[in-house]
């Protein structure tokens, strides 16, 4: 059954009383002794702590801000030089029970950009058995900003072939339909819901900015069938840059993974 606009908004907002399988709200601040810290420790549905990965000449700074009342993890990435290859960084956490249908919810905001006049630049999130460097052939769901520069960015998702094939920008879909998608604005918080179906190799996505929502259903994984349903998978938040001097800052909060009923 197709999602209605109201349902898409509801799925992107907190649901009281629902048991969570893995939660990261960063309320315990920075440290490595409690599950809800950054980087934290394994436990309560998480297979390990948060880890930071870099590809190319990039600096990555992470900081928990906002205090216990409204904590968020701020991630700043800056390219120290230009490169013919893509320059990116990710913060990644592996979680348990990824082989069963589950829902992933998080909040993300774009805080600052410098340069970024290359269509290869973006921020986003993705999942899969090995999400440690970049969206790759084992990626399952993928959502990211898409456009020639930040002033034109909209939220997009990857609609793969479920065969581990090569990446092509032709399979990036503007969530909500071409010309009907949601613009990405600096300083605005976006609630993202992924309904993940590893048994079928598909996912559904809804994004709300608090007043409107867009969604897509039945998107296919990029990964091949052998990597659809691992016992452990990861969630990665990523930024990608291309040129020296490019920088981007974004924040992540309220990461929640729960079984789909």
Please tell me the total count of domains within the chain.
Answer: 1
The pLDDT tens digits for 241-253 are 999 999 999 999 9
pTM of the predicted model, to two decimals? 0.91
The pLDDT tens digits for 105-119 are 999 999 999 988 888
The pLDDT tens digits for 212-246 are 999 999 999 999 999 999 999 999 999 999 999 99
* Three state DSSP letters for the chain: CCCCHHHHHHHCCCCCCCCCCEEECCCCCEECCCCCCEECCCECCECCCCEEEEECCEEEEEEEECCCCCCEEEEEEEECCCCCCCEEEEEEEEEECCCCCEEEEEEEEEEEEECCCCCCCEEEEEEECCCCCCCCCCEEEEEEEECCCHHHCEEEEECCCCCCCCCCHHHEEECCCCCCCCECCECCEEEEEEEEECCCCEEEEEEECCCCEEEEEEEECCCCHHHCCCCEEEEEEEEEECCCCCEEEEEEEEEEEEECC
The pLDDT tens digits for 63-95 are 999 988 899 999 999 999 988 788 999 999 999
Domain boundaries, position 211: 5-259
Q: What is the CATH number of the domain that holds 63?
A: 2.60.120.200
């Amino acid at each position: 059954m197709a999602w209605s606009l109201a349902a898409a908004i509801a799925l992107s907002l907190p649901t009281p009383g629902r048991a969570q399988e893995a939660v990261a709200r960063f309320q315990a601040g920075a440290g490595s002794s409690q599950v809800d810290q950054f980087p934290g420790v394994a436990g309560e549905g998480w297979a390990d702590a948060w880890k930071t990965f870099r590809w190319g000449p990039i600096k990555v700074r992470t900081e928990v801000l906002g205090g216990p009342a409204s904590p968020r993890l701020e991630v700043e990435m800056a390219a120290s030089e230009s490169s013919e290859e893509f320059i990116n960084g990710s913060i990644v956490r592996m979680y348990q029970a990824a082989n069963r249908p589950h829902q992933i919810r998080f909040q993300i905001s774009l805080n600052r950009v410098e340069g970024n006049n290359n269509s290869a630049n973006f921020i986003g999130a993705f999942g899969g058995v090995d999400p440690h460097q970049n969206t790759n052939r084992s990626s399952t769901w993928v959502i990211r900003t898409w456009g020639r520069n930040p002033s034109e960015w909209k939220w997009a998702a990857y609609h793969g072939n479920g065969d581990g094939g090569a990446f092509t920008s032709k399979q990036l879909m503007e969530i909500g339909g071409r010309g009907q998608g949601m613009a990405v604005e600096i300083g605005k918080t976006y609630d993202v819901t992924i309904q993940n179906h590893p048994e079928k190799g598909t996912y559904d996505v809804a994004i709300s900015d608090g007043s409107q929502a867009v969604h897509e259903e039945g998107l296919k994984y990029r990964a091949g069938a052998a990597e659809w349903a691992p016992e452990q998978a990861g969630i990665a938040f990523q930024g990608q840059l291309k040129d020296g001097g490019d920088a981007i800052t974004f924040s992540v909060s309220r990461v929640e993974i729960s079984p789909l009923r």
